[in-house]
Amino acid sequence: MDFVKVEREGGVATLTIDRQDKLNAISPQLVEEIGQSLLEIESEGPRVIVVTGAGEKAFVAGADITAMSAMSPTEAKRFAEIGHAAMALLDKSPIPTIAAVNGFALGGGCEIALACDIRIAAENALFGFPEVGLGILPGMGGTQRLPRLVGPAVAKELIFSARRIDAAEAQEIGLVNRVVPQGEALSAALELADQIATNGPLAVRYAKAAANKALDTDLVNGLEYEADQFALLFSTEDSREGMGAFSEKRKPEFTGN
């Protein structure tokens, strides 16, 4: 991998997008590296994945405009499809994902953050969708995930205007979960990841699947899915361990079985 670094500490895998001379802009090669890295990370079974950008200035300053300016419609479609596949590896991954947004999160950067389950932003982070100002539109899931997260009216305003918003406004509209001081997004994300990693890994995985289901289905089917996932966990050793530990007034030791 030229532009993606993966580190593993305990149950937490950190994927860093590292193309600092271009503010971590996403080229076709980079989006493939992100997808490939996520597949490898998932096969190693960490309990949480944290995604961040290298350096202090940018999380990801968008898709690579230089590369896109030379694309034919067919190449652009392929770029979008590869991007969608990579984002699905975050969104649909059984493992919870946290974006540590440490600076510019524009266009594709915002879309990577949106594909994660949770977003923690440094106070210098800037969010926005500049695409329409370039004569294109968000093509890595932004038109679909942003309305689901912040509602259609706010999403349309941001996408149609290409207005940049700071971390405080991003938190106000529900785009980010939490804002932390500059330089602390990654450490805050890792702290949260460690906290998630202490919980039953299967329980967290099934809870993620159930919460995702809420976005794809109606309440009746969503509740049925929840009941099935709830029941399934009662067949795991971890559920016996977790509830048993409560009765025995000790900390549970989860194995993921």
Residue with Cβ nearer ligand COA (107 or 200): 107
* Measured distance CA(113)–CA(240) in Å, rounded: 35
As measured in angstroms, the least distance from the Cβ of 139 to ligand COA is: 8
Residue with Cβ nearer ligand COA (128 or 201): 128
The answer to whether the CB of 95 falls within 8 A of the CB of 46 is yes
- Cα-based distances in Å from 98 to 101, 186, 237: 9, 10, 27
As measured in angstroms, the least distance from the Cβ of 105 to ligand COA is: 10
Burial 71-99 (b: 16+ CB within 10 A, else e): eeeeeeeebbebbbebbebbbebebbbbb
Task: Give the residue closest to ligand COA by C-beta.
Answer: 62
Interacting residues with ligand COA (CB under 6 A)? 22-23, 25, 61-66, 104, 106-107, 130-131, 134
* Measured distance CA(155)–CA(142) in Å, rounded: 9
- Of the residues 32, 40, 42, 111, only one is catalytic, namely 111
Active site residue 111: yes
- Of the residues 7, 56, 131, 248, only one is catalytic, namely 131
The answer to whether the CB of 34 falls within 8 A of the CB of 27 is no
* 71-77 long-range contacts, CB within 8 A, separation 24+: 76/139
The tokens of 4 are what? 């993606």
The tokens of 170 are what? 């991003």
Residue with Cβ nearer ligand COA (35 or 108): 108
> Which residue, among 99, 97, 98, 101, has the nearest Cα to 167 in the 3D structure?
101
Cα 4–Cα 9–Cα 14 angle in degrees, nearest 5: 30
Active site residue 172: no
Active site residues: 111, 131
